[in-house]
Amino acid sequence: MENNQELEQLMLDLGQSARRAARTLASVTTADKNRALFAIADALLAAETHLLAANAIDVANACARGLDAAMIERLVLNASGIAQMAEGVRQVAALPDPVGEITNMVFRPSGIQVGQMRVPLGVVGIIYESRPNVTIDAAALCLKSGNATILRGGSEVAATNQALAKCIRRGLAAGDLPVDAVQIVPTTDRAAVTVMLGLHQFIDVMIPRGGKGLVSLVIEHARMPVIKHLDGVCHVFVDAEANLDKAVTVALNSKTHRYGVCNAMETLLVHEAVAAQFLPMIAPLYREKGVELRGCPRTCAILQAILGNGVRAATTDDWHAEYLSPILAVRVVDSLNEAIDHIETYGSHHTDSIMTDNFGTARRFLREVDSASVMVNASTRFADGFEYGLGAEIGISTDKIHARGPVGLLGLTSQKYIVLGDGHIRG
Amino acid sequence: MENNQELEQLMLDLGQSARRAARTLASVTTADKNRALFAIADALLAAETHLLAANAIDVANACARGLDAAMIERLVLNASGIAQMAEGVRQVAALPDPVGEITNMVFRPSGIQVGQMRVPLGVVGIIYESRPNVTIDAAALCLKSGNATILRGGSEVAATNQALAKCIRRGLAAGDLPVDAVQIVPTTDRAAVTVMLGLHQFIDVMIPRGGKGLVSLVIEHARMPVIKHLDGVCHVFVDAEANLDKAVTVALNSKTHRYGVCNAMETLLVHEAVAAQFLPMIAPLYREKGVELRGCPRTCAILQAILGNGVRAATTDDWHAEYLSPILAVRVVDSLNEAIDHIETYGSHHTDSIMTDNFGTARRFLREVDSASVMVNASTRFADGFEYGLGAEIGISTDKIHARGPVGLLGLTSQKYIVLGDGHIRG
């Protein structure tokens, strides 16, 4: 951008166009939205050559800038990735449309009827990093839920995103919907993010998807509500009355199914009554998978016999850590209370699971653990929109306001009250 | 406060105590909460003499400071006011407890069961002005919904609020609940508000109740989510196919039932097909009530014959105005579309009503008007927690996120996911 004023005007224009598009989108039919979604899927497949060429530019730039291999891997798009995107859009079209649903319509003593109608939020802003599939996933979910979207992706996939934007506009036009229903910020100027976060008159909610730096920036500067999750410090607690074989399976899956995801377990809590039996069962399996253990003193004492000095002593930092890598903190606790205290003190209110066969213990854990997902005898890895039956998710919220846990179409809507009368007045 | 550090420490202590109390409150039984609520009601009645004496101090101070009569009237507490407060608390006890309700529990293809459990938000901060009944209403609603509360009332009722706080603590203690479940900021230092708005680690949501100055301050400085409403610029649109007798009744009630409330009509829109008939029907009735009319050119032309020059020309400011007084803006519009455009352009998304006998017109208005309450053939004055059957309200939200419209007990809760398995892992 040549100067700040130009940038601000650009962002204002985006905001105004989005607001206009949102008004139209809010009352189009489900059939209209689905037709546009299918057209977007077709446009993606038709543009394969163009998309791959655009992505090659981003990859070449990333190599030239010396980005690390993991980063580059995340931004690469291939033919199968494009097919998956198109399939994802079709799956969103197949989801039930939440907009317009009227619920709880009742007659009140005054004679009026009162109920609620589900409506779009309006304009959703999404700021995200690298992976280009977010562009398509987010656009499809917002469109289906009747929201206009302003997307701001990472500069490292700018060419890919602009190519994707063209496919989306082509699909919207083919479906006779406003092409400004999905807009991608057309500049990589970082100042655009700050301007965007100030546009509360045009953007109803902001969703950051990316690392902690990005989320913190959004929390700091956003003048509109934010749906976010900061950390995924998830726990599995193996209770005194756990089935230990199942506990081994679940604790292994929660940690090793995938490491770099927010619903992976980061701390394993073990009741002292079963620690001496359970820890030697699971520790060799973690070692086999290459998972480094960091234990409390009791954990270290129990495992020294079988792992020698292979267990590092955990510090307070370990209880707070979201490793996103093959490292696991392990702590022996005296009781259910101590386990819950640990989770409430060090956890991130994302996903926590208990392994137990005791009904009352399970019931207390479900009630008292204050996390977006609380589980009994199941892997933390299930905390996911598809697994929960939401169809797809725009993110996982660790907030308590509005949407909590995996956020699907419903989380992108709100409910207004509707009142029907026949000339009723308040006495 | 002697210095800022002391103030910050005081507020931190309040926050930590509230967080501790919230953990206990989240899992106490409904019976426990109701017992405490009844004990609070009893404590209020028992403390009548003390409460009146404390209130007399506030009133004397207000007179000495030269506050205007309307302001002083709002802060006066009498025996009947105390009885009403106690009755209000008992009514909250009688409401169903939303906490712990499990909904939508289904088996997923993976074999896990997934559902949602309703839970308290945690700690609710409320910043409000003058009227002492807010202290009791807010404390009762938050307690019933399992939330701890930090209340900061206006300095002009500081003595009354501290006396009310004692009653609340007595009731909490009698009900064996943590006395810190409801705390009132014990200083009138204005800096305490700013400190409070920064305590996002201890306060989960902030609810401002008061004038625009207060709400703007909270929006500006709050580092946690806010449930608020800024303006109540409400409309009644008299459609071409309205029953004009009913339209007169509803438009009169919407404006004149009470002037200083957020759900009073501030702008009357009239379809041009019926303007020449309808406006002369209603204008004399407004004149009788002492309501000043400010009209668009067509309104002025129609009414000149019967009111002479009694109708002032409206400016753009009038379309934006929340008068909260006996003034009404009136505009003749060409169509339903123009009415909706006017509402979307100048309204505050609070409450808007259409008078029409046409089914399709009503259906479009309900769908397309983006307000917290949208009504057909009913007075805007119905936008209220009691009228909607919520039992009582902590405020009316014009936000789209989380709670919209009157906010009752449900708006003070959230839902977490719960997952039940039998050793299930993700494949």
Cβ of A366 within 8 Å of Cβ of B418? The answer is: yes
**DSSP structural state of residue A139:** H
Closest residue in B to A221 (Cα) is B223
B121 CB within 8 Å of a chain A CB: yes
Place of tokens 């009133």: B59
Share of chain B above pLDDT 90, in %: 81
Q: How far is CA A259 from the centre of its chain?
A: 16
Spell out which residues of chain B touch residue A257, defining contact as CB-CB under 8 Å: 425-426
Q: Distance between CA A404 and CA B27 in Å, rounded? A: 19
Cβ of A378 within 8 Å of Cβ of B419? The answer is: yes
Which amino acid is located at B267 in the chain?
A: T
Hey, what are A251's tokens?
């604790």
Cβ of B426 within 8 Å of Cβ of A257? The answer is: yes
Q: Distance between CA A35 and CA A160 in Å, rounded? A: 24
At residue A2, the pLDDT reads 53
Cβ of A250 within 8 Å of Cβ of B400? The answer is: no
**DSSP structural state of residue A27:** T
Q: Distance between CA B297 and CA B207 in Å, rounded? A: 41
Q: A158-178, pLDDT tens digit by residue? A: 999 999 999 999 999 999 999
Q: Distance between CA B292 and CA B289 in Å, rounded? A: 9
Q: A276-319, pLDDT tens digit by residue? A: 999 999 999 999 999 999 999 999 999 998 887 778 999 999 99
CB distance B204 to B148 below 8 Å: no
At residue B70, the pLDDT reads 81
Q: Distance between CA A144 and CA A182 in Å, rounded? A: 12
Question: Which member of A204, A389, A419 has the closest CB to residue B382?
Answer: A419
Residue from B122, B137, B121 nearest B85 by CA: B137
Q: What angle, rounded to 10 degrees, do the helices at A158-174 and A30-46 form?
A: 130
The pLDDT of A361-386, averaged and rounded, is 96
A112 CB within 8 Å of a chain B CB: yes
Share of chain A above pLDDT 70, in %: 99
For residue A357, give the 3-state DSSP assignment: coil
Q: Distance between CA A237 and CA A297 in Å, rounded? A: 17
Least confident of A62-66, A351-355, B215-219, B369-373: B215-219
Q: Distance between CA B134 and CA B127 in Å, rounded? A: 10
Share of chain B above pLDDT 70, in %: 99
Beta strands in A200-248 (DSSP E): 205-209, 234-238
At residue A395, the pLDDT reads 85
At residue B2, the pLDDT reads 53
Question: Which member of A252, A377, A424 has the closest CB to residue B422?
Answer: A377
**DSSP structural state of residue A135:** H
The pLDDT of B144-154, averaged and rounded, is 95
CB atoms within 10 A of CB B70: 8
Q: Distance between CA A246 and CA A353 in Å, rounded? A: 13
Q: How far is CA B131 from the centre of its chain?
A: 13
A215 CB within 8 Å of a chain B CB: no
A261 CB within 8 Å of a chain B CB: no
At residue A130, the pLDDT reads 67
For residue A257, give the 3-state DSSP assignment: coil
Q: Distance between CA A340 and CA A208 in Å, rounded? A: 29
Question: Which member of B223, B383, B414 has the closest CB to residue A401?
Answer: B414
pLDDT of residue B418 exceeding 70, the answer is yes
Whole-prediction pTM = 0.91
Q: B279-313, pLDDT tens digit by residue? A: 999 999 999 999 999 999 999 999 998 887 778 99
Question: Which of A365, A393, A417, A422 to substitute to test the interface with B, most B CBs within 10 Å?
Answer: A417
Looking at this predicted complex, what is its ipTM?
A: 0.92
Write the secondary structure of chain B as one string of H (helix), E (strand) and C (coil). CCCHHHHHHHHHHHHHHHHHHHHHHCCCCHHHHHHHHHHHHHHHHHCHHHHHHHHHHHHHHHHHCCCCHHHHHHHCCCHHHHHHHHHHHHHHHHCCCCCCCEEEEEECCCCCEEEEEEEECCEEEEEECCCCHHHHHHHHHHHHCCCEEEEECCHHHHHHHHHHHHHHHHHHHHCCCCHHHEEECCCCCCHHHHHHHCCCCCCCEEEEECCHHHHHHHHHHCCCCECCCCCCCEEEEECCCCCHHHHHHHHHHHHHCCCCCCCCEEEEEEEHHHHHHHHHHHHHHHHHHCCEEEECHHHHHHHHHHHCCCCEECCHHHHHCCCCCCEEEEEEECCHHHHHHHHHHHCCCCEEEEECCCHHHHHHHHHHCCCCEEEEEECHHHCCHHHHCCCCCCEEECCCCCCCEEECCHHHEEEEEEEEEEEECCC
A402 CB within 8 Å of a chain B CB: yes
At residue B132, the pLDDT reads 85
Q: Distance between CA B353 and CA B264 in Å, rounded? A: 11
Cβ-count burial of A427 within 10 angstroms (0-12 exposed, 13-18 middle, 19+ buried)?
exposed
Spell out which residues of chain B touch residue A399, defining contact as CB-CB under 8 Å: 225
pLDDT of residue A3 exceeding 80, the answer is no
Least confident of A194-198, A404-408, B173-177, B213-217: B213-217
Q: A78-122, pLDDT tens digit by residue? A: 999 999 999 999 999 999 999 999 999 999 999 999 999 999 999
Spell out which residues of chain B touch residue A245, defining contact as CB-CB under 8 Å: 423
pLDDT of residue B150 exceeding 90, the answer is yes
Most confidently modeled range among A126-130, A184-188, B186-190, B291-295: B291-295
Cβ-count burial of B350 within 10 angstroms (0-12 exposed, 13-18 middle, 19+ buried)?
buried
Q: Distance between CA A234 and CA A398 in Å, rounded? A: 12
Mean pLDDT computed over every residue of chain A: 94
B105 CB within 8 Å of a chain A CB: no
The distance of A7 to chain B (nearest Cα, Å) reads 24
CB atoms within 10 A of CB B99: 23
Spell out which residues of chain A touch residue B378, defining contact as CB-CB under 8 Å: 112, 419-421, 423-425
Which amino acid is located at B395 in the chain?
A: G
What backbone torsions phi and psi does residue B30 show, to the nearest 5 degrees?
A: -60, -40
Closest residue in A to B406 (Cα) is A417
At residue B130, the pLDDT reads 67
Q: Distance between CA A47 and CA A136 in Å, rounded? A: 14
Hey, what are A361's tokens?
């213990």
Question: Which of B23, B342, B374, B425 to substitute to test the interface with A, most A CBs within 10 Å?
Answer: B425
Cβ of B389 within 8 Å of Cβ of A344? The answer is: no
**DSSP structural state of residue A351:** E
CB distance A89 to A44 below 8 Å: yes
Q: What angle, rounded to 10 degrees, do the helices at B48-64 and B158-174 form?
A: 160
pLDDT of residue B395 exceeding 60, the answer is yes
Cβ of B379 within 8 Å of Cβ of A424? The answer is: yes
Q: In what order do the strands lie in the sheet with B292-295?
A: A102-107, A113-120, A413-424, B373-378, B351-355, B234-238, B265-271, B327-333, B292-295, B312-313
The distance of A353 to chain B (nearest Cα, Å) reads 9
Share of chain A above pLDDT 90, in %: 81
At residue B67, the pLDDT reads 87
Cβ of A100 within 8 Å of Cβ of B420? The answer is: no
Cβ of B373 within 8 Å of Cβ of A416? The answer is: yes
pLDDT of residue A400 exceeding 90, the answer is no
| Residue B387 CA: distances (Å) to CA of A182, A295, A388, B233 | 39, 57, 36, 20
Spell out which residues of chain A touch residue B425, defining contact as CB-CB under 8 Å: 249-250, 252-254, 257, 378-379, 381
Residue A19 host element (H or E): helix A4-25
CB atoms within 10 A of CB A235: 28
Interface of A with B in 21-60 (CB under 8 A): 23, 26-27
At residue A263, the pLDDT reads 95
The more confidently predicted of residues A61 and A133 is A61
Place of tokens 């002593």: A313
Q: Distance between CA A394 and CA A134 in Å, rounded? A: 8
Q: Distance between CA A320 and CA B379 in Å, rounded? A: 54
